Chains A and B, each alone.
Chain A
């Protein structure tokens, strides 16, 4: 249950009208996706680094073995779930755009004025 909850909700839009900074929303959206990808690339790079250091230290695995690896059905499912998690994270901004279509958000300025009354 928690995994489904996390897949659906981890990228949720916070309340409030999202500010736009760039000339077009298209550019803004592309940057959001690119930055998420950048983060995931770094994470992957660090994981590879971890693996390579451990393997090298133990003298365990050759590059050929990695290239010819075939996952079992369960292993493939595990990797598939990772792909789902990856996509939910990278496409967060698209999910939030959809959520914003049905949200009745006020602007930060309006709320600030109200709170100051």
Chain B
């Protein structure tokens, strides 16, 4: 093979026909603020992508087998916590969990090595792309919510907010570069398959919806919001997060990808007094609510209702909520990240009655929106979650949409 992916003889063609693993890391999109990587650093991420896939496809099914064969017999469970505690006594669950935790820690180590060793260069590159740009609005006085300050999400030391030097972007670069490994390539070339899925869902389900202003809450490094900005190039997009490194990196990333209609604002989305009532047509959160807390969620729902114009929509994209129809084993497995991957609110958020909370925040019950999306990727190169019948209990690139449309008074 010559690197083009085109088979040059029968042997290559046969190999390509049977290979169903993650693509090589070198297909990941290299935008203008992406960290430089050596051959070995790329191969480290390749190994981890394969390791994650192996754990999901080859090891995890054994947990179900162990549950059926020696954990469940003779017992009756009332809730998922009882199932999880019973599983923790099983040696197969133990080894799967130990491997999964280690794989995540190794992914963080690999990404931190790549980004900390070039921390100053990355900061300089970010500054060159963002200094003086009014689309980066930072607030050094911002007080971090406890759900950020007390947790290193997904075991990423320093989480979204820690700055390792002036103008730092290291953790954002780490997050961005490692998504490929964590998801086994399921989020596509620019790790934006989730945002693309939301844009496609809106185009299909709300064809007449033409937002002028879009607010993305908890944007992180903005990989989920850029597809919305690209799908609605006439719209003004505001992306808000508490982490300054994420926002710097986010704007640099957006500009280098040619996306010019997004402003990155450092603020706590529980209260955004800088924006007037009804000043947005669309409020979006993508894989964000599970990073917050009950009290924050109530404020976020209330604030999104205030910020929406009449007829505007709010959409929250998350993994599916627990419900009585979901087997307790599946619920317990989906809870793994809450207890073992530094996502403590994950378990609470997925049992909340989001519909009721949206109604409490002021949305009419009949205006509630429900849907489902899977990551949109370049299927010629990346695996497609919609074609995948496997279940990764909380990590599959398939999500629920829960939202509402604000009443036109």
Contact = CB atoms under 8 A, between A and B. Distances in A.
Contacts of B146: 114-115
| Prevailing SS type, chain B contact patch | helix
Interface of A: 1-3, 5-6, 9-16, 18-19, 21-23, 28, 31-32, 35-36, 39-40, 42-44, 46-47, 50, 85, 89, 92-93, 96, 106, 108-109, 111-112, 114-117
Nearest to A9: B116
Given A2-B121, A89-B109, A46 B43 contact: yes
A92 B155 CA distance: 13
B344 interface: yes
Contacts of B40: 43-44, 46-47
Given A22-B98, A50-B39, 7 more contacts: A6-B116, A6-B117, A14-B105, A19-B340, A21-B97, A89-B109, A112-B348
Interface of B: 39-40, 43-44, 46-48, 51, 88, 93-95, 97-99, 101-103, 105-106, 108-109, 112-113, 116-121, 146-147, 150-152, 155-158, 164, 292-296, 338-340, 342, 344-345, 347-348
B120 A2 contact: yes
Contacts, number: 141
B151 A111 contact: yes
Nearest to A111: B344
Contacts of B94: 21-23
Contacts of A96: 105
A16 B150 CA distance: 8
A115 B43 contact: no
A117 B295 contact: yes
Contacts of A109: 339, 344
A35 B102 contact: yes
A12 B151 CA distance: 14
B105 A92 contact: yes
Given A6-B117, A14-B156, A47 B342 contact: no
A39 B47 contact: yes
Given A21-B98, A115-B146, A115-B294, A5 B43 contact: no
A17 to B, nearest CB: 10
Nearest to A99: B157
Given A13-B157, A16-B152, A6 B112 contact: yes
Given A5-B117, A6-B117, A35-B99, A15 B39 contact: no
A83 to B, nearest CB: 13
B117 A92 contact: no
B152 A42 contact: no
Closest 3 CB pairs of A and B: A115-B293, A14-B152, A6-B117
A108 B339 contact: yes
A42 to B, nearest CB: 4
A6 B157 CA distance: 13
Contacts of B296: 115
Given A5-B164, A35-B103, A115-B348, A14 B293 contact: no
